[in-house]
Amino acid sequence: MKSLSVLSRCGLVVAVLLLCGEVAAQRKTYNVEDLPQVPLDTLPTDRPGVKIITYTNNTWRYLLTDYSARANQKVFQDHWVTSGVFAYRDVHLSDVPETMEIKLIDNLGDYHPPVLGRVSSRYGPRGRGMHKGIDIGLPVGEPIYATFEGKVRYARYNSGGYGYLVILRHPNGLETYYGHLCKLNVSANDYVVAGQVIGYGGNTGRSRGPHLHFEVRYADLTFDPERIIDFSTGDLKYHTFVLERGYFNVSSKLTEALEEDDDMEGIFTDKNGEPLTSEEIVSNLEKAAAKPRPTVNDAIYYKVKSGDNLSKIAAKYGTTVGNICRLNGIKSSSPIRPGQRLRVK
Ligand SMILES: [Zn+2]
């Protein structure tokens, strides 16, 4: 068998030589990856803290050489707040460009999913409020990874509902939030690389069961993390992503608090708040993941006029009083007043 394969390889080489003549005779017949890869030299680049390293086998790659230079980039100086969740209070939606090309990763870059697990709640309208991120069920203590390289802007206990929270700012200006952690593994102003363990998943803050609450923001404005990450596989969807102003949720800047628990009921606990068995939790998580995803555009609001009552409004929008009550967290007996904004769909 060995001699046969040598023979056939010789045959191939002869055929190539015959076909290409002189050119083939000059061409090297080895593969680059078979050669020893020994670092040869480093070359400067115009990017802070980044050099190019060249190897003896004619290959090269980018090299992060100086984290302090990376961490001192302008993006980590402007609007840098380590004590609060929001850092861009003076930046409004209208200040944000209509579209922005965001490089998620480049040759330097790495990406790592924050955690792999079942999505228990997606981004979008939920109950009375707005779910600003995506929830991924996990066992307490599961390592949570930095999705991209960046600088830790916030790493502390948040009493607004996030529990132990890490906020990373990335060189492209995006920020990622990791909430309900049981333990932090980084401090504010640390510089982290993609895939570094920044903390451990837990159940702290306004949370009814162990899960990661993960958000992606630009200038404090949220958009759906599923636009860039496929959470069923953990894969990043794009290297470069076009972020449109229309993706942002306008209400995401209204409060720093996290209203998390709305539909956790029925997943980790039953309707009476009693804990469920792990089989029941897994089955509930599967059901939640199979649910069609809500979109922001589905919501319709109605301003109550004088003389209105719930049944009149329900009839007008082809819905029921029960549905309106559920969407607004009110009882059918609750009084409504003119000017009040009610969600009807
Ligand atoms: Zn959440």
d(CA 271, CA 274): 7
pLDDT tens digit string along 64-97?
777 888 899 999 999 999 999 999 999 999 999 9
293 C-alpha to center of ligand 1: Å? 14
89 C-alpha to center of ligand 1: Å? 22
Task: Find out if CATH 2.60.40.1080 is the number for domain 300-343.
Answer: no
What pLDDT was estimated at residue 150? Answer: 95
105 C-alpha to center of ligand 1: Å? 25
E-only strand ranges, 159-280: 163-169, 174-181, 183-184, 191-192, 197-200, 211-218, 221-223, 229-230, 235-236, 240-244
What are the residues whose beta carbons fall under 8 Å from the beta carbon of 86, sequence distance 6 or more?
220, 253, 256
What CATH number has the domain spanning 93-290? 2.70.70.10
Pairing of strands 119-121, 134-137: antiparallel
215 C-alpha to center of ligand 1: Å? 8
pLDDT tens digit string along 229-242?
999 999 999 999 99
d(CA 22, CA 259): 72
Please give the backbone phi and psi of residue 200, each rounded to the nearest 5 degrees, phi first: -130, 135
177 C-alpha to center of ligand 1: Å? 10
Angstrom CA distances, 88 to 79, 124, 179, 220, stand at: 6, 22, 20, 6
289 C-alpha to center of ligand 1: Å? 14
> Could you state, in order of their start, the residue ranges of all structural domains in the chain?
2-30, 40-76, 93-290, 300-343
Place of tokens 């060189």: 171
pTM for the full predicted model: 0.65
pLDDT tens digit string along 175-185?
999 999 999 99
151 C-alpha to center of ligand 1: Å? 23
pLDDT tens digit string along 130-178?
899 999 999 999 999 999 999 999 999 999 999 999 999 999 999 999 9
Closest CA to 53 of 45, 104, 72: 45
213 C-alpha to center of ligand 1: Å? 4
Confidence category of residue 126, pLDDT binned at 50, 70, 90: confident
**Do residues 147 and 176 make contact, with C-beta atoms less than 8 angstroms apart?**
yes
